[in-house]
Amino acid sequence: MFWPMKNTVTAGKDDVLMHYDIVIIGAGSVGLPLAYYMAEKGVSLAVIEKEVSPGRGQNRAAIGGVRATHSDPAKIAICRESIRLLSAMKDEHRIDINWKQGGYLYPVYREKDARELRALPKVQEKQDLEIGWISPERIRELVPGVNMSGLLGGTYSPGDGSASPLLTADAYFQLAKHAGADFYFSAKVRHIDIKGRYINAVHTDAGAFSAGLVINCAGARAREIGLMSGQDFPVNPDSHEAGITEPVQPLFDPMIVDIRPAENSQNYYFYQNAEGQVVFCITPSPLKPGFDCDNTSAFLPAVTRRMIDIFPRLRYLRVRRTWRGLYPMTPDGFPLIGYNSEIKNNFLAAGMCGQGFMLGPGLGKILAESLVDHSRSYDFIFTQLSPYRTFDNEEALK
C-alpha cells in the first residue's frame, strides 16, 4: 500500500499551491494522533482544519472513555493500541493527559441484559481481553454506595480507562508540531480539484494544497468532504448531550454504563475523571439526527434522575457545565477506514460513531504503520472496516 508521489499539479491563478506528502483534513480526535504518528516517520505533512484551533469539532465534546472491550476484532485491536499509547503518554513524552485506568462497568438490573452481557465476554475472552462477569458485592466494592436493589451483577473490564480529550488533543497537537507537521487553521475546505483519478488540489480558506495522499479525517463532516471528491460515504451524525460536575474527592473508579432504556433516553454512562469531576452523557430516544449542538432543556432532569437512581451518592454533587456533541454514525455502527475506490490518492478515516476519541490514537499509529511503512499486519482491520462493505452486521456494544 503506498500513494503515488507528488502529482504534476497546476495551481489556480489566485492560489499558491502548497505541496506535502500527506494532507490530513481535520485536526480532531483522529487527525491529530494520525498527524503525529505519520510526521514522526519523516513524511512532510499538513493538517487543515476549519476551526481556529485543534480539537474544536467533536473532540471537545468527547467525555474521555477509552475501552478495548468491543465486540469485533478491528475495534478491539485499534483500542488496545490506543490504551497502550495513552497509558504510556506520561512516561514516553512527559505529557499528562489525565489517563486513569478505572475500568468499565456495566451493572445489570434486568435478566434479559444479564443473559446478553454474560454471552458477550465469551467473544471478548477469545481476544484475550480482560473482562468478566462480577457479583453485586464486587460491584459495591468498586462503586461504594451503588444502588443494590435488584442488582444482578455486571461485566467489568479493569483494563479500560479514560483520559482528558482536551489534554490528549493538545498533546498530539504539540507532538505533531514538534515532529514537523504543519497546521493550517481557519482553513475550511471549499473545493477539491480532481484530475483524472487523482486529487489535484484541495482549496481552502487558508490556501490550496496538493499532496501524494489526502486523508479525510473530517469526523462529522466527512460526508461533505467525501462528496467533494465524488464519493458519498454514509456518515450521518446524531447528537448526544453531556455534562460535568464540580470536582470532589474520588468516589468511584470505573466508567459506569447503564444499558437500560428509559422514557426519552437509551443508555447513559458516567465516570469520575482524574480531576475528580463526574462526566456524564446520555443517548436520547428517539435519536436526534443532524448537526445541531445547542443545549436542550430535557437533558439535565433526565440524566440526573437516572444517575441518582443508580448511584444515590451523586445527589448533592453540583453540575457545572453541559454541552452537546455529535456521533458521526455509519449504517452498521462501525468506522469507515480505507482508500477511496475512485480516487487513488484519497483515504478515508471517519464515521467513528462517537468513539473517535478512543479509536484515534490507535488508529493513527496503525495507519502510519500501514500507509507509510507498508505493514500488512493490520489488513484484517481494512477488510472489516472497508467503506465499501455491505453494512449488514450491527455493532452489539455501541
Partner 1 sequence: MNNTMIAGIYKDRKAGAFVNNRTYKIIDFKGLLVASGARERSLLFPGNPLPGIYGAGAFQTLVNRDGIKAADRLFIVGSGNVGLIAAYHALQAGIRVKGICDILPRPGGYKVHADKIRRMGVPLYQRHTILHAGGTEKLERVTIAGVDAGQRPLLDTAKTFEVDTLLIAVGLAPVDENYDTAASFGFPVVKTGDADEIAEASSAMFGGRIAGLNMAKRLGRNIRIDPSFHEKAEILKNPPGKTFPKQKTVLDERFRPVIHCVQEIPCNPCETVCPVHAIRLKKRRGNILDVPEYTGGCTGCMKCVAVCPGLAISLARRIGETKAEVVLPYEFIPDFTKGDRLDLMDMEGNFLEKGTVKKLRYYKPFRTSLVTLEVSLGNAPDIAGIRVQPEAETRPSKTISFEYLPEDAILCRCEMITVKQVRDFIREHHVRDMNQLKALRVGMGSCGGKNCSLLLPRIFRELNIPPEAIVENTRRPLSVEIPMHVLANEKHRDSGEG
**Rule CB under 8 A: which residues touch partner 1?**
52-54, 56, 60, 145, 147, 166-167, 170, 174, 245-246, 275, 292, 294-298, 300-301, 304-305, 307-308, 312-323
Contacts of 363 (CB under 8 A, 6+ apart): 30, 33, 34, 78, 81, 82, 335, 337, 349
Cβ closer to partner 1: 84 or 178? Answer: 178
Q: Which is nearer to partner 1, 104 or 183 (CB)?
A: 183
Q: How far apart are CA 305 and CA 315, in angstroms?
A: 9
Tell me the DSSP string of 178-211. HTT-EEE-S--EEEEEEETTEEEEEEETTEEEEE
Residue with smaller CB distance to partner 1, 4 or 144? 144
Least separation in angstroms between residue 95's CB and partner 1 is: 10
**Count, residues in the chain:** 398
Q: Looking up cell 496503525, which residue turns up?
A: 366
Residue 88, C-beta contacts closer than 8 angstroms, at least 6 positions apart: none
**Shortest distance, CB of residue 124 to partner 1, whole angstroms?**
32
Closer of 173 and 209 to partner 1 (Cβ): 173
Q: Using an 8 Å Cβ cutoff, are 301 and 319 in contact?
A: no
Whose CA is closest to 359, among 41, 53, 85, 47? 85
Q: Is 63 helix (H, G, I), strand (E, B) or coil?
A: coil
| Beta bridge partners of residue 349, listed in sequence order | 337
> Nearer Cβ to partner 1, position 280 or 339?
280
| Choice between 273 and 345, CB closer to partner 1 | 273
- CB 387, min distance to partner 1, A: 32
Nearest distance from C-beta of residue 252 to partner 1, angstroms = 13
Residue type at position 172: Y
Report the alpha-carbon distance of residue 210 to residue 226 in Å, rounded. 16
Q: How far is the CB of 162 from partner 1 (least distance, A)?
A: 16
**16 or 52: whose CB is closer to partner 1?**
52
Q: Report helix, strand or coil for 39.
A: helix
Q: How far is the CB of 264 from partner 1 (least distance, A)?
A: 13
The DSSP annotation for 360-388 comes to HHHHHHHHIIIIIS---TTHHHHHHT-TT
Residue 312 Cβ vs partner 1, minimum distance, rounded to whole Å = 4
Find the shortest distance in angstroms from Cβ 392 to partner 1: 36
Cα-Cα-Cα-Cα dihedral sign, residues 356, 357, 358, 359: positive
In angstroms, the Cα distances linking 220 to 38, 115, 363 are 22, 34, 17
Shorter beta-carbon distance to partner 1: residue 327 or 339:
327
Residues 6+ apart with CB under 8 A from 123: 71
Cβ-based nearer residue to partner 1, 112 or 315: 315
Beta carbon of residue 52, minimum distance to partner 1 (angstroms, whole number)? 5
Torsional class of 196: left (φ above 0), alpha (ψ -120 to 50), beta (otherwise): left
Q: What's the Cα-to-Cα distance from 360 to each of 66, 83, 320, 335, rounded to whole Å?
A: 10, 11, 27, 11
CB of 348 closer than 8 Å to CB of 387? yes
Nearer to partner 1, 9 or 248 (CB): 248
**Least Å from the CB of residue 53 to partner 1:** 4
Query: How far apart (Å, rounded) are the C-alpha atoms in residues 135 and 133?
Result: 7
